[in-house]
Amino acid sequence: MSPRASRRAGLAVALAVALATPAAPLLTGPASAATLTGQVWASDLPFVSSVNGNGPVERDESNGTQAAGDGRTIWVGGKSHSKGLGVHADSAVRFDVGGSCEYFQSEVGIDDEVGDKGSVVFSVVADGVQVAQTKTVTGSMEPITIYAGIDGAQTVDLLVSQAEGGAAYDHADWASAKFRCSGDGTAPAATTPAAPTTSVYAGNWPFLGTPSNGWGPVERNQENGEEAAGDGGPLKLNGVTYTKGLGVHAGSMVSYHLGGGCSAFTAKVGVDDSQGWLGSARFRVFADGVEVADTGKMLNGTATKTISATTAGARRLDLLVDDTGDGVDYDHADWADARLVCGNDATGAAFYTPPSTLPAGRGTLVRTEPSQFWVTPLKITPVDATATRLMYTSTDRNDTSIAVTGQLVVPNKAWSGSGSRPLIAYAVGTQGLGDECAPSRLSDGGGLEYENVFLAGLLAKGYAVVVTDYQGLGTPGLHTYMSREVQARAVLDSVRAARNVSGSGVTSSTPVALMGYSQGGGAAAAAAEIAHGYAPDLNVVGVAAGGIPGDLLTVADKLDGSFAVGFLAYAVLGVGEASYGIDVSTFLNARGSTLMDAVREECVVETVLKHPFVQSSTLTKDGRSLPQTLRDPQYATMLDEQRIGNGRKPTIPAFVYHSQTDDVVAYAAGYDAAKRWCAQGATVSFRPGLAPGHVGGAFGFHPYALSFLDARFRGEPSTSTCATI
């Protein structure tokens, strides 16, 4: 029997025994369930029936052993609880609440007395319907909060079943277990709103039942206001105004029927600016009664937090705001830009899996979700901008429609320059081949190598920035690293996608510049070459491309045996296998195959640390180096197609820069690309220099690249230096 089947069988047996057990004698507590009002501790109520896997169910102490009252203080996750139930799997406890209670709440987990042992599943059943069930909870995990809707239920069953490894250490606690009761003795209205079938704003979707609120009614698409409905101002957090969302006051609960068809709930949250520096709130999200997000205490001055909570399969969503224990005065709280992510839309890791059918067109949005942008992994200060993660359509080298992901970041501060806010399509440098290396995943944690600093500078100047993940980086399949045409298309289609994001301010007339360094320099250069034909609908005004790997064989010669030789492996896989379908096993020996298999899932830091200074001749069957192997005639066409300036040129002004001391991308690769463009009549400004190494070149030349693009946005003419190259 599988662990899941075993768990279900345990639950069924426990519940069946509980139902058949005669009612226990009344203990201390209310005389009648119908009189329950306010907050009622579960351990103070009589059991209708109970069964337990080891001795009796204990009140306000852990399970102990066979005798009643032989438990200890309840400890879960290093915290003690004076109230609760101590049980042992398989366990079932039934309460009669007489329809008087709306919610059951508890912190659940394995009691600390058994250490990191034990594994169970907690479930709450109201009138025979499961309203909450945790994942498998082990002794090494933090406690999980349950806040289950039980409105109108006559009976509530608390079930604990063993999960894996037997029940020997399954001492489980319903810590601080309590019922929240109005005493109305009535069930909610029988009508349940329809579940959304596509993503919707929470402020525009029907509530499940009547929401509660600490001051006046819950407001849709405005802040809480006062006691009358519709008296709130705009939702505003840290100077940013939102047109969609919910305005509430601490002591609030808002519920939605999801019907199992929504993958996530997303929102920007905080105390509304209308309260000045006063107020505090804690935002919590529950999916089918199990907590899936908790912001902790937020003050009015706390930076806005982004919630992205998984709700896959959940039928009910509850949004709770409490007062953090310091009173409810001034606690106007906003669920800004709150969305139910449903249907083909997705969030989190699931965001990167495309739907089975893609929409038509290039740059068409498949889905979006709120994201974050941080300069460093420490996440000390977020950039004052709105970040949106994107999935959009593009095409591969065979013109087949594909899904590509990326991120759009737009400054919150109004654009102060002339015309509309410019957009920079930034092509990032090498991140790796593993899906977790996708720029849109890394940038919201400040981990985008060195380039988050550059992006933050662009945002500080007021420019909007869109960054592509390229094909296969984030989305399924192998990343087409260094594949010229595919990377170029992904960059240009990211601009179209940005134009399709509601409220982005990006239009067909928005001035667009292309920018990138290293791999990104090649991608930006390639995008500039095809922009006039592939994307004539975009207003591209210039390109700044640095460290261009303009000829892959020249770069391969430089990389072989260096600290960055793993990048050569990236290119063999990205261009050869992913784009052209070459079977690399035909020329790799066992060591070469092992190395290639490893780098498929690695990011840059891993690759550089694990595979430095490898001579590629040790990776091939015939002992020739990879650059020598790639010079075989069967690969000539493939490599010619990757060469920047090979019969193609940009029709927009170009700034090309390259350090003469570059230790990763050979100087000649960028210099010769600029010369090929000049020979075809392109307007090119080339800047060499002695900035130290490859990364030093990125920092050393960035101010010049930015100055060049500033001038393009101002409409100034560009000066060519082709005569001096």
What phi, psi does 3 have (nearest 5°)?
-55, -40
The string of pLDDT tens digits covering residues 398-429 is 999 999 999 999 998 889 999 999 999 999 99
The string of pLDDT tens digits covering residues 65-113 is 889 999 999 999 999 999 999 999 999 999 999 988 999 999 999 999 9
188 pLDDT higher than 70: no
Whether 297 is in a domain gets the answer yes
pLDDT band at 359 (very low <50, low <70, confident <90, very high): very high
pLDDT band at 166 (very low <50, low <70, confident <90, very high): confident
Whether 188 is in a domain gets the answer no
> What's 578's DSSP letter?
I
Looking at the fold, whether 518 and 456 belong to one and the same domain comes out as yes
Looking at the fold, whether 546 and 674 belong to one and the same domain comes out as yes
Spatial separation of the C-alpha atoms in residues 548 and 515, rounded to whole Å:
11
6 pLDDT higher than 50: no
pLDDT band at 346 (very low <50, low <70, confident <90, very high): low
Instruction: Check: CB of residue 333 under 8 Å from CB of residue 251.
Output: no
Instruction: Check: CB of residue 386 under 8 Å from CB of residue 409.
Output: yes
17 pLDDT higher than 70: no
Buried b (16+ CB within 10 A) or exposed e, 444-479: bebbbbebbebbbebbeeebbbbbbbbbbbbbeebb
442 pLDDT higher than 90: no
Looking at the fold, whether 492 and 590 belong to one and the same domain comes out as no
Spatial separation of the C-alpha atoms in residues 243 and 522, rounded to whole Å:
40
Looking at the fold, whether 517 and 611 belong to one and the same domain comes out as no
Between 12 and 617, the higher pLDDT residue:
617
Residue ending a domain, choose from 303, 321, 342: 342
Residue 323's nearest CA partner among 249, 264, 384 is: 249
Report the SS3 class of residue 307.
strand
Spatial separation of the C-alpha atoms in residues 488 and 684, rounded to whole Å:
19
- Which residue is it, tokens 């990011």? 603
The string of pLDDT tens digits covering residues 475-496 is 989 999 999 999 999 999 999 9
Number of domains within the chain: 4
- Residues facing residue 173 across a β-bridge: 86, 109
Predicted local confidence at residue 377, as pLDDT: 54
296 pLDDT higher than 50: yes
Two tokens, residue 42: 């579960």
Give the pLDDT mean for 553-575.
97
Report the SS3 class of residue 529.
helix
582 pLDDT higher than 50: yes
- Residues facing residue 496 across a β-bridge: none
Looking at the fold, whether 353 and 457 belong to one and the same domain comes out as yes
- pTM value surpassing 0.85: no
Whether 533 is in a domain gets the answer yes
pLDDT band at 464 (very low <50, low <70, confident <90, very high): very high
State percent of the chain over pLDDT 70.
91
Looking at the fold, whether 487 and 581 belong to one and the same domain comes out as no
pLDDT band at 1 (very low <50, low <70, confident <90, very high): very low
Looking at the fold, whether 226 and 262 belong to one and the same domain comes out as yes
Report the SS3 class of residue 673.
helix
Helix intervals (H) in 503-658: 519-534, 552-559, 565-571, 590-599, 604-610, 626-630, 636-642
Whether 721 is in a domain gets the answer no
The string of pLDDT tens digits covering residues 698-715 is 999 999 999 999 999 999
Two tokens, residue 642: 């990757």
Residue ending a domain, choose from 303, 326, 342: 342
Q: How many CA atoms lie within 13 A of 551 on its CB side?
A: 20
The string of pLDDT tens digits covering residues 246-286 is 999 998 999 999 999 888 898 999 999 998 889 999 999 99
Dihedral of the alpha carbons of 398, 401, 403, 406, in degrees to the nearest 10: 70
Whether 723 is in a domain gets the answer no
CATH code of the domain containing 701: 3.40.50.1820
Predicted local confidence at residue 28, as pLDDT: 35
Two tokens, residue 103: 């919610």
Whether 32 is in a domain gets the answer yes
The string of pLDDT tens digits covering residues 507-549 is 999 999 999 999 999 999 999 999 999 999 999 999 999 999 9
Looking at the fold, whether 531 and 563 belong to one and the same domain comes out as no
Looking at the fold, whether 389 and 512 belong to one and the same domain comes out as yes
The string of pLDDT tens digits covering residues 311-322 is 888 999 999 999
CATH code of the domain containing 93: 2.60.120.1060
Spatial CB neighbours of 295, under 8 Å, sequence gap ≥ 6: 269, 282, 283, 284, 305, 307
Region of 163 please: left (phi>0), alpha (psi -120 to 50) or beta: alpha
Looking at the fold, whether 54 and 87 belong to one and the same domain comes out as yes
The boundaries of the domain holding residue 253 are: 200-342
Residue ending a domain, choose from 283, 308, 342: 342
pLDDT band at 381 (very low <50, low <70, confident <90, very high): low
- Residues facing residue 254 across a β-bridge: 319
Give the pLDDT mean for 657-674.
98
Mean pLDDT of all residues belonging to the chain: 90
Predicted local confidence at residue 451, as pLDDT: 86
The string of pLDDT tens digits covering residues 200-227 is 999 999 999 889 899 999 999 999 988 8
Spatial CB neighbours of 357, under 8 Å, sequence gap ≥ 6: none
pLDDT band at 380 (very low <50, low <70, confident <90, very high): low
Residue 106's nearest CA partner among 43, 159, 28, 178 is: 178
Give the pLDDT mean for 574-590.
96
Give the pLDDT mean for 239-243.
87
State percent of the chain over pLDDT 90.
73
Looking at the fold, whether 387 and 531 belong to one and the same domain comes out as yes
Give the pLDDT mean for 462-484.
95
pLDDT band at 383 (very low <50, low <70, confident <90, very high): confident
Whether 286 is in a domain gets the answer yes
Type of residue at 71: G
pLDDT band at 371 (very low <50, low <70, confident <90, very high): confident
Predicted local confidence at residue 12, as pLDDT: 42
Give the pLDDT mean for 496-506.
93
Looking at the fold, whether 392 and 466 belong to one and the same domain comes out as yes
Length of the chain in terms of residues written: 725
> What's 722's DSSP letter?
G
Whether 630 is in a domain gets the answer no
